[in-house]
Chain A
Amino acid sequence: MGKLTGKIALVTGGSEGIGFATAQEFIKEGAFVFITGRRKPTLDAAVAKLGTSALGIQADSAKLDDLDRLYAEIKQKKGKLDVLFVNAGGGEFAPLGQITEEHYDQTFAKNVKGLVFTVQKALPLLGKGGSIILNASIVATKGMPAFSVYSATKAAVRNFARGWTADLKGTGIRVNVVSPGPIDTPGLRGVTDGTDEGYKQFTDAMTASVPLGRVGQPEEIAKAVVYLASEDSSFVAGFDLVVDGGFAQI
């Protein structure tokens, strides 16, 4: 018997990286999983790999109409939602002095505004025993060059979990955060120059500061999300579970 047997889960940004690994882990633990993504071919390929306990819905979390359509479909197909992993998001580098209005608007729209309405519009489908997990980042508490806007969005995300834990008191719905450190994903590769050598230089520099001496794998975040999604964490609320190899801890 899996830890999520009979549960209905939604993983936004579930086509690849951490979202995809989490969808796999949820299914292994017995859940039915909806995943979203913006690009249809990537989404279809992911669902093909995930099998019959997964369904893909093309949606952009920054578009409120897409979210309405998403939850209407979940309601129609399954009638409820038990686990929500708000994973969609992303960031690009821009050092102070070169931050454009577009950079600011896009990063906050994706990581903050999209996340707020992904959660709020899910509430009518969630009930007692429900678990909401927000994907943040250790950069919420660390300064890194050219990453200030992304960091600020993630600090906002961490704080939503505090406020919403207070707002949801008495509902039986828990809200927590998972904060990855450096994880080997397409997203991490995307912020480098795209070459294997460039990626290696980037991760070598980073892992020198990681006590465990390596970057993490998406499955290692997925296991943490399962912990937060399941009854194993029934007394954990408003918390930020940091999975970073110790990077931001010491």
Chain B
Amino acid sequence: MGKLAGKIALITGGSEGIGFATAQEFISEGAFVFITGRRKEVLDAAVATLGPNASAVQSNAENLNDLDRLYAEIKTKKGKLDVLFVNAGIYSGAPLGQITEEHYDSIFGVNVKGLLFTVQKALPLMGKGGSIILNGSVVAVKGFPALSVYSATKAAVRNFARGWTADLKGTGIRVNVVSPGPIDTPGTRVLGNGTTAALDQFATQVPLGRYGQGNEIAKAALFLASDDSSFVAGFDLMVDGGIGQI
């Protein structure tokens, strides 16, 4: 019997990387999983791989109308939501001095505003035993060159989990954060300009000496999604190979 048997889950940004690995993990533990993504062909390919216990809804997390349509569809198809993994987010760098208004607006639009309404609009479908997991990042507590705006969005995300844990007291819904460190995903490979040299160099700074894999975040998300973490609330579970710890 899986740890999520009979549960309905939503993973935003579920077509690839951490979101996709988490969808696979949730399905292997018995859940039915909705995934969202912006690009239809990538989304369709993901659902084809995930199989009959997955359903895709094309949607952009910063578009509030898309979110209304998304939750209407989940309501029609399954009538409830048990697990929400808000994973959709964007990542780009700009050093101080070169931060444009567009850079600021786009990252805060998806990572903060989009996340906020993804959670708030899900609440009517959620109840006792529900688990909300926000994808943060170790950069919320570390400084890295050119990542200040991204870091700030993730610090905001981590703090939402505190405030919402207080707001949701008595509902039986838990809110937690999972904060990945350097993970080998399509997102991080783009940063290395398609080469692995930059990634290899960075890996030496990680106490475990390597990048993490998407499924290592998926296992952490599973812990937070399931009753294994029934006394964990408002917490930030960092899966970072130790880089933000020592």
Contact = CB atoms under 8 A, between A and B. Distances in A.
Contacts of A216: 231
A220 B165 CA distance: 18
A250 B166 contact: yes
A165 interface: yes
Given A170-B209, A233-B220, A250-B165, A239 B245 contact: yes
A216 B230 CA distance: 9
A179 to B, nearest CB: 10
Contacts of A174: 208
A15 B240 CA distance: 33
Contacts of A243: 229, 231-232
A238 interface: yes
Contacts of A238: 207, 242, 245-246
A229 interface: no
Given A162-B246, A163-B246, A236 B231 contact: no
Contacts of A242: 232, 235
A122 B123 CA distance: 48
Interface stretch (B36-44, B112-120, B211-219): B211-219
Interface string A163-207: 101100110001000000100000000000000000000000000
B207 A166 contact: yes
B78 interface: no
A249 B233 contact: yes
B78 to A, nearest CB: 26
Contact of A162 (B208, B219, B238, B245): B245
Contacts of A19: none
Nearest to B241: A235
Given A232-B219, A235-B212, A236-B239, A246 B246 contact: no
Interface centre among B208, B217, B236, by most chain A C-beta atoms within 10 angstroms, is B208
Contacts of A163: 246
Contacts of A235: 181, 183, 208, 212-213, 216-217, 239-241
A181 B235 CA distance: 12
B241 to A, nearest CB: 5
A223 interface: yes
Contacts of A166: 207, 246
A250 B162 contact: yes
A237 B205 CA distance: 13
Interface string B169-186: 110001000000101000
Given A169-B209, A223-B228, A236 B170 contact: no
A244 interface: yes
Contacts of B246: 162-163, 165-166, 238
Contacts of A233: 216, 219-220, 239
B163 interface: yes
B208 A224 contact: no
Interface of A: 161-163, 165-166, 169-170, 174, 181, 211-213, 216-217, 220-221, 223-224, 226-227, 232-246, 249-250
7 contacts: A166-B246, A170-B209, A212-B231, A220-B231, A232-B223, A233-B216, A234-B219
Given A165-B245, A213-B170, A235-B213, 17 more contacts: A163-B246, A166-B207, A169-B208, A211-B168, A211-B234, A223-B229, A223-B230, A227-B223, A232-B219, A233-B216, A236-B220, A237-B245, A238-B207, A238-B246, A239-B240, A250-B165, A250-B166
Ranked nearest first, the 5 interchain pairs of A and B with the lowest CB-CB distance are A249-B234, A237-B242, A238-B245, A246-B233, A235-B212
